[in-house]
Structure 1
Amino acid sequence: MEQPGPANAPVETHLLLGCCREADEANVVAGGLDQLRAALPESFHSHLIALAEEIRSSSRMLRGLADRSQMHITRVPFMTNYLNVVLPCLSRSLKDITAHYEDKTLTREIRWRKMYNKMTDEAGGLPLPQRFVLYNHFLSLLKQLLTRSPSFDLNTLETLRTRILTLREQRGIPPTAQAGTLVRQNLMSLAAVQDRNSHWAEQIFSLPLPSRTALKHLKPSKSYGPFYPWGHLTIPQDSKVLFRRPFDNDMISIVVFLSSVDQCPYFLMRSMQNNAPWYSLFGAHELCIEREGSALQLKRWSRSEQCSKLWVALYFLTWEEMVLFYCTFLALKARNLLTVQIHPNEFMLCREKRLFQAQIVDDGFKHSLIVYQDMQSRGLRLHAAVWEGELRQCPVWTAFVTHQSQSPTWLSQRSRHRVWLKDIQLYVFCSTYRQENMRQNKSGAFEICFDREEAAKRFKELFSLRAASSERSDNEHVMAGPSA
């Protein structure tokens, strides 16, 4: 493959490749600090932990900027001048830290003391961990600048820029030439204009997980392409980013966006190869999804070979995250105007067992309510899908059944057809569904209205039997006592 970033490449390309290189270096440095901490007394740990975590945050932010730049390529010139300010300073800080902890002429304790005190003094008394807090605040503002966030504050960015330039002077880093377009305040009022109509997919991964069920047999995620260097993909201007998910310490990332041209969802994959980012892009309608163990595999159709080929295998740490990505993909694809058809197998997440299914009336719609149990992790979830029509089986919402279900007050039958559930969080994959309409009661419980009385009865019995079984297991464990 052609290597990106040749000598005559635009300055933006060199700077964004620099983001990726410094992100890699930051991860290495954070790992070195972890090793140093393991050899030092506990009294030193808090400062070392704080420093390593801030450096890891720097790594994530740098990669995030490089990834999102593909989506906002016309705005990259506004950001490059600021990257030109921060990258040399951040790079020097990482090199200085490395030189200190690799100095084998000193004991590990003296290495740390010397590193902390000297680097604090040279920054005019700014503690070493706070130096990376400064970098990270600056990088977060660059992300807002790039994405036209209404929260962007040019005055704060300029204040932090001045502080970083002062730090560069203190470290003897020579000034760099301007690279890119200066941002003026009168332009920012236009730049900050953003679509206020939030898409449901923007919310899915911002909600906290009520439980984290670990998956086993994890492997590194793997991408298969085809790949292109930065800037070689055509992405319509003003496309809307829905979410970004990193995998394997950000070695692979997926950015999902709505094209401003056809308003359809596209998946942009970034993979690091030989310390350089490579990109691949397909629409949701061009991909198929299936589960293989702890991974979700996305496949594409190869026109040249006339067969389905693996695009990426994404390994998830938790079952909950896997389910959310799967349902989000399926809902985006099903509601996509460019989708011709969906194979029935895609509507089934492999290695899930169906324990219950019935029709419900949900916010005025007919939905299927299914209770699934994951055969690998034993996790339970409720899954609502469209009952009939063109979108039949398309996910509407899912909710994970946690330890709260063991409480006798978690589920209560309010009438022959109605059941209330307390302490349950819905992840909604539909713009027209309003779960608040099903929570209009004093306790804020979620109401399920079954089409048939028998279904409500079976649903309640399912969870009553599970609670009783769990209680018996607990009692047997207590009666048995500790093993000899």
Structure 2
Amino acid sequence: MSGHPMTYTGHADTRLLHGCIREAERCGLMSYSLDGLRNALPEHYHAHMIGLSEEIRVSSRILRDLVDRSEAHFSRVPVLLQHLNIILPCLSKTLNDIDGYIEDRSISKEMRWRKMYNKMTDEVGGIALPQQFLLYNQFLDSIFQMLTRLETLKTLIMGLREKRAIPPPAPQVGGALIRPDMIVAPISREPPSHWAQQIFSLPLPSRTALKTPKRSKSCGPHKQLAPGQPPFPPGSMVLFRRFVRRAALTQAEPPFRAATTGLPLAEPCLISFRSFDNDSLSLIVSSVRGTPQQHLSLVTSHQGIQWLAVRGVHELRIQRKHSAVELWRWSESTQTSKLWAALYFITWEEMVLFYCTFSSLKIQNSSTVLVDKDEYTLQGERRLFQAQIIDDNYKHSLIVYQDTQTKGIRLHAAVWEGEMRQCPVWTAFVTHQCTSPTWLVKESRRRVWLRDVQLYVFHQNYRQENQRKGREGAFEIDFLNEKAAARFYDVFYPPTSPTNNADSDKEGGPST
């Protein structure tokens, strides 16, 4: 591993593309070095280390894809190089610093990891080391989308101009076409068109490892995925994409038994699809534009060939089994339920987010016929508290759950009544900040403020900004009565004398 970060000049030439290849190779080597360090450390360090290693592998993949696609989209390369010149020096410096800590033989391996994580987090103002690579990957992915999709859209627009007898635009000469005085307001970034697009883009406030993760599996039936073809229906937008560690195809339904039905893989699609490692399974949730339909696609490799299993979200039933999330399908031939996939997540937080996202998509889907009672509740959690609240002018049920395996605690808001009853609205993980006496503050007899909490929202119409109060943006919870507010406070700050905090709300209402 090089002892110095790569230095890039301001010249926009192909040296930056060579830099992409070099940094991709360094990312691959660095992820293996981190895996070796992790194997020598206690298990309670593993979740953060696995998260960091996986993000570095993603960086390697995107960098290689950028170089590969630049040959097909050479007209966009000058713009690509401008953005690469921004990120590559920073990425290179981060990799170099990590390598320096790993190779420091003067301290123990445990101290190498602790110094690496803490110092590299502190020096950038508190952005955790795995989140730094998440930021890099979001930037690199945006460059990738610009390189591939913009050129394709440009071709389509030029086709529209030609059909309307509009000549090609003349080259820009002599400065900007728009004068500064013509700009009346900055263009704001377009918000995500679907709430699920934000769930996994937000950083995790904590990473709680799940015990003894096993091999994930896709049970099919499968279809062979042609090279370069998208793994979702035409006209879809990707809501989120996740890589599940140590994935494998089950032998119950071999991949060479191609299904006779499924989506038409030969249809064109404007959304790019990147290749994946042989030992990982790609989980993609997409939504068909202009319709309420969502699909879940699983892509994995077997003997160098990629295989696809795809189902509508409304066709699957979800349940948790220990450290796995299982998805079941209905088999018309046997008239029984069959396991479609078993997904083992590295952290409890990601498993919770996937479970709540999937169940919300299914409940909100107009094609869903039935949601089993067990699907509303994530098995393996103990309910510490429940009460009714007024939240963004809606009646919601607020529950405090504790996971029996990891002891993690989270807040969970669900729809109180009506057709969408028990549908998740948002969840928030309770971290070490709850130990601070100022984290939860009583603003009145019925209202409390949480001064540091990050919400993951599962409904398009919910506006958490309506609940944010004060200069610090504390989150306000408005209970229907004083007793419920007092009991909620006691969950996190128990009184000195023992008090029986009821497991459910005595006001009545939906049980979850």
Q: Which has the higher helix share?
A: 1
Contact 2:31 2:54 in 1 (8 A): no
Q: Kindly name which structure, 1 or 2, has the bigger radius of gyration based on alpha carbons.
A: 1
Among candidates 201, 204, 208, match of residue 209 of structure 1: 204
Check if 1:366 corresponds to 2:395: yes
Contact 1:27 1:55 in 2 (8 A): no
1:223-243 deviations in Å (ceiling 9; x for gaps): 111111124889543211111
1:433 is displaced (CA, Å) by: 0.7
Among candidates 482, 492, 495, match of residue 453 of structure 1: 482
Relative to structure 1, the CA distance from residue 367 to residue 57 in structure 2 (aligned partners, 3 Å threshold; closer, same or farther) is closer
Structure 1 segment 466-477 matched on structure 2, within 5 A: none
Among candidates 336, 349, 371, match of residue 307 of structure 1: 336
Among candidates 221, 233, 245, match of residue 248 of structure 1: 245
1:445 is displaced (CA, Å) by: 1.0
Residue matched to 2:225? 230
The whole-number CA distance in structure 2 between the counterparts of 1:342 and 1:278 is: 29
The whole-number CA distance in structure 1 between the counterparts of 2:398 and 2:355 is: 17
Among candidates 310, 323, 326, match of residue 281 of structure 1: 310
Among candidates 393, 404, 412, match of residue 383 of structure 1: 412
1:95-133 deviations in Å (ceiling 9; x for gaps): xxxxxxxxxxxxxxxxxxxxxxxxxxxxxxxxxxxxxxx
1:262 is displaced (CA, Å) by: 3.0
Check if 1:61 corresponds to 2:62: yes
Check if 1:343 corresponds to 2:372: yes
Relative to structure 1, the CA distance from residue 230 to residue 140 in structure 2 (aligned partners, 3 Å threshold; closer, same or farther) is farther
Residue matched to 1:258? 287
Aligned identity (percent) is 51
1:430 aligned counterpart, secondary structure = coil
1:453 is displaced (CA, Å) by: 1.3
1:226 aligned counterpart, secondary structure = coil
The whole-number CA distance in structure 1 between the counterparts of 2:454 and 2:222 is: 38
Relative to structure 1, the CA distance from residue 62 to residue 285 in structure 2 (aligned partners, 3 Å threshold; closer, same or farther) is farther
1:247 is displaced (CA, Å) by: 0.9
Letter in 2 for 1:217: T
TM-score, L = length of structure 1? 0.61
2:379 aligned counterpart, secondary structure = coil
Q: Across the two proteins, how many residue pairs are aligned to each other?
A: 337
Contact 1:236 1:260 in 2 (8 A): no
Relative to structure 1, the CA distance from residue 207 to residue 287 in structure 2 (aligned partners, 3 Å threshold; closer, same or farther) is same
Letter in 1 for 2:195: W
The whole-number CA distance in structure 1 between the counterparts of 2:31 and 2:379 is: 40
The whole-number CA distance in structure 2 between the counterparts of 1:468 and 1:59 is: 56
Residue matched to 1:356? 385
1:348 is displaced (CA, Å) by: 1.0
1:189 is displaced (CA, Å) by: 10
1:400 is displaced (CA, Å) by: 0.5
Relative to structure 1, the CA distance from residue 271 to residue 389 in structure 2 (aligned partners, 3 Å threshold; closer, same or farther) is same
1:441-480 deviations in Å (ceiling 9; x for gaps): 23321111111211111111111129999xxxxxxxxxxx
Letter in 2 for 1:425: Q
Structure 1 segment 36-435 matched on structure 2, within 5 A: 56-57=57-58, 60-61=61-62, 81=72, 141-146=143-148, 148=149, 152=150, 187=158, 198-231=193-226, 235-248=232-245, 251-260=280-289, 262-435=291-464
The whole-number CA distance in structure 2 between the counterparts of 1:358 and 1:294 is: 28
1:397-438 deviations in Å (ceiling 9; x for gaps): 000011100011111111111111111111110111111111
Q: Which runs of 5+ in 1 are unaligned?
A: 1-21, 39-51, 66-77, 87-135, 155-180, 470-484
Contact 2:449 2:477 in 1 (8 A): yes
Letter in 1 for 2:236: S
Q: Which runs of 5+ in 2 are unaligned?
A: 1-20, 38-52, 78-137, 162-188, 247-276, 499-512
The whole-number CA distance in structure 1 between the counterparts of 2:413 and 2:193 is: 22
1:30 is displaced (CA, Å) by: 3.5
Contact 2:329 2:338 in 1 (8 A): yes
The whole-number CA distance in structure 2 between the counterparts of 1:468 and 1:273 is: 60
Contact 1:79 1:142 in 2 (8 A): no
Residue matched to 1:100? none
Relative to structure 1, the CA distance from residue 355 to residue 270 in structure 2 (aligned partners, 3 Å threshold; closer, same or farther) is same
Contact 1:362 1:438 in 2 (8 A): yes
Letter in 2 for 1:248: R
1:307 is displaced (CA, Å) by: 0.9
The whole-number CA distance in structure 2 between the counterparts of 1:137 and 1:233 is: 22
RMSD of aligned residue pairs (Cα, Å): 4.0
1:265 is displaced (CA, Å) by: 1.1
1:362 is displaced (CA, Å) by: 0.4
TM-score, L = length of structure 2? 0.58
The whole-number CA distance in structure 1 between the counterparts of 2:238 and 2:324 is: 24
1:399 aligned counterpart, secondary structure = strand
1:64 is displaced (CA, Å) by: 8.6
1:259 is displaced (CA, Å) by: 1.2
The whole-number CA distance in structure 1 between the counterparts of 2:192 and 2:462 is: 15
Relative to structure 1, the CA distance from residue 373 to residue 467 in structure 2 (aligned partners, 3 Å threshold; closer, same or farther) is farther
The whole-number CA distance in structure 2 between the counterparts of 1:199 and 1:431 is: 7
Letter in 2 for 1:228: K
Contact 1:237 1:260 in 2 (8 A): no
1:260 is displaced (CA, Å) by: 2.7
